[in-house]
Structure 1
Amino acid sequence: MNPPAGAVYVGRFQPPHAAHVGSVLHALEAAPRVLVLPGSANLARSVHNPWSAPERASMFRAVLREAGADVRRVTFRPLPDHFDAERWAAEVRAQAASVFGPAAALALVGFEKDASSAYLRWFPGWSRLNVPQTPELNATDLRRALFEGQPLPPAVPAAVRAFLEAFAHTPAFTRLQAEWRAVAAARAALPPGVHLAEERWLWRAEERVMLHTRPGPIGQGLWELPGHVLPPGQPPRAGATAVFDHPARALVAPTAAHIYLAEPPPAFACHAVPLTTALARPRRFSEDHHVILTRLLGLG
């Protein structure tokens, strides 16, 4: 088989660690150029996604330089999260085509799925570039150490460690540390393995959309669609236009959002935001609410 013209590496990299760097170094041995796509680029800062795509790319570049890699051969592009596998795959293909050309022979780095029919359908003509086995590393554990004030594990490269130590002195860190504690407390108060439901209203009037600003420590200051999370076991009201139930969409627990295209009930405080402003600021929204807004209004 001919070597690929390029390799594509997708991940959240929250934050980049030694295994991520090793994967790119291995890809650079197999392909002349590597495209790194930091995912969830359209989501607000949260304990699940603390750092923006540019911040992660900056960390990644610094670590690759430390490792002696030719960073001129590595391209970084932000990858939004659609909370939909086929939309995600289409976005990956589009990003790769914009960098390598539509007909380039490409390899996907470290993809967890096997060469199943789904894999072949999502990335037709692509090969899989397996990376060497490394000791198990978990970015969740790195974030836990950071937000709980514990020593960072050795898997954190020097350049990333320096970034995280500086980040720990910012207002964003202070907010996220409070969110970490609040998320942990909210999870502890729920029955094990619970799945929740929430009711949200999407109302557009005169090129404005009705939104609510979150007051509590989880997503503080972010916009969301007016509504509420229901107590465990309580079913949502009938008549929802759509249901968004991706398992990773909510911070606290798996939550299915039932969306009603109607004016919010008076019980839910909200304010009007110009639609153009709302569409232009995806990282101002809590969780996947910007994705819901754009998809249901046909503006994504």
Structure 2
Amino acid sequence: MSPGGPRVISKVNAGVPAVFVGRFQPPHAAHVATIIQALGRAPRVLVLVGSANLARSIRNPFSAPERARMLRAALQEAGADVRQVRFRALSDHFDANRWAADVRWQAAQVFGPAQAVALVGFEKDASTAYLRWFPGWSRLPVPEAPGLNATDTRAALFEGLPLPPGLPESVRAFLTQFALTPAFARLQAEWHAVRRLQAALPAGAHLQEERWVRLTAQHIWLQTRTQAIGRGLWELPGRVLAPGVQPGAVADTVFDHPARSLVAHTTAHVYRADPPPEPRYAASRPVLLTTALARPRRFFEDHHVILGRFLEAAAY
């Protein structure tokens, strides 16, 4: 089914297991309260921890296992029976239909393909429009918790400000320790670099970038980022164009998901070809495809997803 399908119904069967999807970057008290409320109405709750295939970034600083551990500890603090909760990682596909299909597949793996399911959540903005993408599932609505959001917590963390209220003590302790790690130092540098670039762009800037996919039967050519944003991550050879500049050729594929780039809405024009013979691309090196495919969290932004789509297309 596509996201254009009928709305889910609001009536919930108390015997129906529930699915709660979120990024939890990081978890806060409203997430914990939502799971506890779901446990009061469902025999089991599957928590799908999103963006699990993406590298650490200022938008997604914590791995799926880290977030699951934080949530489990916070639930235990609150006295919840975590034996009724199952955590599974959920990838970003930057495609609504693929993402919704993955959620349904995950639920079928845990609860069985014929099991009725209730979807947990409230619609606070377009980011939770997915609550309408599961016709046939019931809906378990939960009250909104005003003033609690992970965005503010990440901003305080990277700015070195006091963490906001509404964080479970176990989460607060994890963040305090995380701030002492090399991973945090890299992300804090990324945070300030992103803010500088955003300040230099026109309001509402929509950028264009070009990327080249050089593939053989066994290798993909990649380069390692040296900039503060995404330092050390693999990327497809390419460049972000200056504001207002358009690509000079017709791309094989265009990737335009609004959340794919950290700095601004950026449309990627991707070519199945060798990159131009320019010094900026000379640093690209062949990486075994098997190695690249097995390490999605080593890639910058959505470049692993782009690679996967090209391989899918090549198979047909």
Q: Please report the TM-score for the alignment, with normalisation by the length of structure 2.
A: 0.91
Q: Within 5 Å, which residues of 2 pair with 1:285-300?
A: 285-298=299-312
Distance 2:36 2:138 in 1: 18
What are structure 2's unaligned runs of at least 5 residues?
1-10
Distance 1:103 1:30 in 2: 20
Q: Secondary structure at the match of 2:286?
A: strand
Answering whether residue 293 of structure 2 is matched by residue 279 of structure 1, we say yes
Q: Secondary structure at the match of 1:77?
A: strand
Aligned residue in 2 for 1:40: 51
Distance 1:266 1:76 in 2: 47
Aligned residue in 2 for 1:81: 92
**Contact 2:74-2:170 within 8 A present in 1 as well:** yes
Structure 1 residue 29 displacement after superposition = 0.7
Change (3 A) 1:40 1:264: same
Answering whether residue 218 of structure 2 is matched by residue 207 of structure 1, we say yes
Distance 2:130 2:271 in 1: 34
Which sits farther off after the overlay, 206-215 or 274-283?
206-215
* Structure 1 residue identity aligned to 2:83: R
Answering whether residue 120 of structure 2 is matched by residue 109 of structure 1, we say yes
Task: Give the aligned length.
Answer: 297
Q: Within 5 Å, which residues of 2 pair with 1:172-211?
A: 172-211=183-222
* Structure 1 residue identity aligned to 2:241: L
Answering whether residue 21 of structure 2 is matched by residue 13 of structure 1, we say no
Q: Please report the TM-score for the alignment, with normalisation by the length of structure 1.
A: 0.96
**Contact 2:119-2:131 within 8 A present in 1 as well:** no
* Structure 2 residue identity aligned to 1:239: V
Aligned residue in 2 for 1:51: 62
Distance 1:113 1:129 in 2: 15
Change (3 A) 1:75 1:250: same
Answering whether residue 251 of structure 2 is matched by residue 237 of structure 1, we say no
Q: Secondary structure at the match of 1:204?
A: coil
Structure 1 residue 5 displacement after superposition = 2.1
- Report Cα offsets for 1:196-239 as digits up to 9, x if no partner: 00000001124111111100100000000001000000001222
Aligned residue in 1 for 2:37: 26
Q: Secondary structure at the match of 2:89?
A: coil
* Structure 1 residue identity aligned to 2:180: H
Answering whether residue 139 of structure 2 is matched by residue 143 of structure 1, we say no
Distance 2:118 2:124 in 1: 14
Aligned residue in 1 for 2:165: 154
Distance 2:28 2:69 in 1: 13
Identical-residue share of aligned pairs (%): 68
Which sits farther off after the overlay, 226-235 or 264-273?
264-273
Which sits farther off after the overlay, 204-213 or 150-159?
204-213
What are structure 1's unaligned runs of at least 5 residues?
none
* Structure 1 residue identity aligned to 2:78: A
Change (3 A) 1:211 1:261: same
